[in-house]
Amino acid sequence: MRDPKERLIIALDYPELPPALEMARLVGPKVGMLKVGLELFNSAGPEAVSALRELGARVFYDSKFSDIPNTVAGAAAAVGRMGVSMFNVHALGGSRMMMEARRAAVEAASEAGLVPPLVIGVTVVTSLGEGEVREELGIPANAHDTAVRLAVLAKRAGLDGVVAAVHEVPEIKRVCGKEFLAVTPGIRPAWAQAGDQSRIATPLAAIEAGSDYLVVGRPVTRAEDPAAAVAAILGEMKGASRE
């Protein structure tokens, strides 16, 4: 199986750069990527990405773009020039928007002499429960079917994979193919608190479901010993029976 280390992504959800860098120094060398999300990016800006890259980390910018295709393409081009390894757009923005995002990011990165980032579609955020998907958003299908449908849309638009909940991964892989990447947040080792995540799974379950990348935030960043938490998660991933 691929090295579990490369498949683990730690979410640096901090309101400012210094604690994010402190955590990055602690756990960055032990994992595949560090994730800069909306909180850190909107407080520290692109410097968050450049500072992490200077530490030698690969960066997943959890941009969750959703706008008209032209605007998202402009943002994606800027992301392509930043040298991130992965970023994402909402699949609910539609296939034209996703196609434009990918084209713009790949073009901009190539022009800058950088490796183009993986472009990932966000399906249904894992904090949303079935009731919210149905009653608040008025989507008649359940969260699972909605996520699979959006994954198919993302695949057709040429994206590299999707962010989805662990239990959606087997069906997404079946429909979109094994090579289509599954990035799964909502990971909770047995010893961690669920927090605001609804559709959660353990690291072992994520690997067994076929997840390619596991996104873990608070179970590591709020742990008393974050390095030990990473080691425990990697140990659990290594124990998985399948690729």
Report, in Å, the least distance between residue 194 CB and ligand C5P.
9
Are 143 and 128 in contact by the 8 Å Cβ rule? The answer is yes
Name which of 69 and 217 has its Cβ closer to ligand C5P. 217
Task: Determine the residue with CB nearest ligand C5P.
Answer: 217
Interface residue with ligand C5P among 17, 82, 122, 169 (CB under 6 A) is 122
Rounded distance, CA 63 to CA 104, Å?
15
**Greatest C-alpha distance within the chain:** 47
Can you tell me which of 4, 28, 37, 69 binds ligand C5P, judged by CB under 6 A?
Answer: 37
What is the smallest separation between the CB atom of 113 and ligand C5P, expressed in angstroms? 29
CB 76 within 8 A of CB 65: yes
Integer Cα distance of 225 and 188 in angstroms: 16
CB 166 within 8 A of CB 211: yes
Q: Give the burial string for 117-147 (b: 16+ CB within 10 Å, else e).
A: bbbbbbbbbbebeeeebbeeeebeeebbebb
**One symbol per residue from 183 to 222: x for binding ligand C5P (CB under 6 A), - otherwise; what is it?**
--xx--------x-x-----------------xxxxx---
Closest CA to 104 of 144, 148, 149, 157: 157
Q: Which is nearer to ligand C5P, 98 or 108 (CB)?
A: 98
50 CB-near residues (< 8 Å, 6+ apart): 82, 83
Q: Find the binding residues for ligand C5P in span 44-63 (CB under 6 A).
A: 62
Quick check: 163 binds ligand C5P (CB under 6 A)? yes
Among residues 35, 64, 155, 173, the one annotated as catalytic is 64
Q: With CB under 6 A as the contact rule, which of the stretches 108-116, 122-130, 143-151, 201-209 interacts with ligand C5P?
A: 122-130
Which amino acid, 47?
E
Report the residue number, 12 or 77, with the smaller CB distance to ligand C5P.
12
Our answer to whether residue 30 is catalytic in this structure is no
Residues that bind ligand C5P (CB under 6 A): 11, 13, 37, 62, 122, 125-126, 163, 185-186, 195, 197, 215-219
**Residues with catalytic function:** 64
